[in-house]
Amino acid sequence: MKKLFEGKILTIPNLLSCVRLALIPCFVWTYLVAGDPRATVLLLLLSGLTDIADGFIARHFHMISNLGKVLDPLADKLTQASMLVCLMSRFPLMMLPFGLMVVKEMVSVGTGLAAIDRTGEVHSAVWHGKLATVLLYAMLIAHVLWPEIPAPISLASILLCAATIILSGILYGVGNVRKIRSGTPPQTKDE
C-alpha cells in the first residue's frame, strides 16, 4: 500500500480521474431521473474524453503515478458498473456483463495485488482490457440511445461484451500469476 502513495499524487491525470468519478452521479441522474438519453451519452462521452486525456497527459508529460494506475481503472470500472446498473432497469440481461465484470475485477485485483507485492511494481492495462472497455462502452451507448433496440441485437452485443470480459479476466489472471511466479521480491532497506 505504501508503494501506491509514493511519488506524484496531485497530477493532472489524477485530477481527471477524480472528474470522472464526479460525473457518475450526474449521468445516473440524467438517465434514471431526468430520462434524458442524450445528456446521459454526452456525460459518458465527456467521461471517456477525460479518460483518453489523462492517459495521454500521463504518458507524454511523464505524470504516470502508482496512484494514477489504480485511480484511472477504478474510475473506469465504477463508471461502467453504474451505467450497467442503470440499464438493468430496462434490460435485465445487463446483469450478465455486470456480474462477469465484478468477478473479473476481483480476480484481477487479487492477483494484481499479489503481483505488486511480489515485484514491487504497479502494472498498467493491456490491450484485452482496453478492447473489453471499448466494446462495453459501445454496447452501453447503443442501449442508452436506442431504448427499443431489437432483442437479437441487444443480446448479441451483450454476449460479445460478456465474452471479451471473460477473455480479459483470464488473460489478466494468467499474466498476474506469471508475474507472481517469476517476479523478484522488492528489496527492503535492511537488505
Inside any domain, residue 189: no
What per-residue confidence (pLDDT) applies to 184?
Answer: 66
Inside any domain, residue 15: yes
H-only helix segments in 11-150: 12-32, 37-60, 66-88, 95-119, 127-145
149 is in which domain, residue-wise?
3-182
**71, three cell numbers:** 485511480
Number of domains in the chain: 1
Inside any domain, residue 105: yes
CA atoms within 13 A of residue 55's CA, in its CB half-sphere? 13
What per-residue confidence (pLDDT) applies to 53?
Answer: 92
Global pTM reads: 0.84
DSSP H or E stretch at residue 178: helix 151-182
Inside any domain, residue 25: yes
Pick out the chain residues at pLDDT < 50: 1, 4-5, 188-191
Inside any domain, residue 136: yes
Q: For position 164, which CATH number holds?
A: 1.20.120.1760
Inside any domain, residue 188: no
What per-residue confidence (pLDDT) applies to 108?
Answer: 81
| φ, ψ dihedrals at 154, nearest 5° | -60, -50
What per-residue confidence (pLDDT) applies to 25?
Answer: 98
Write the CA distances from 22 to 15, 16, 79, 107, 174, integer angstroms.
Answer: 10, 10, 10, 26, 33
Inside any domain, residue 169: yes
d(CA 39, CA 79): 15
Inside any domain, residue 191: no
Question: Taking a C-beta distance cutoff of 8 angstroms, is the pair 147, 86 a contact?
Answer: no
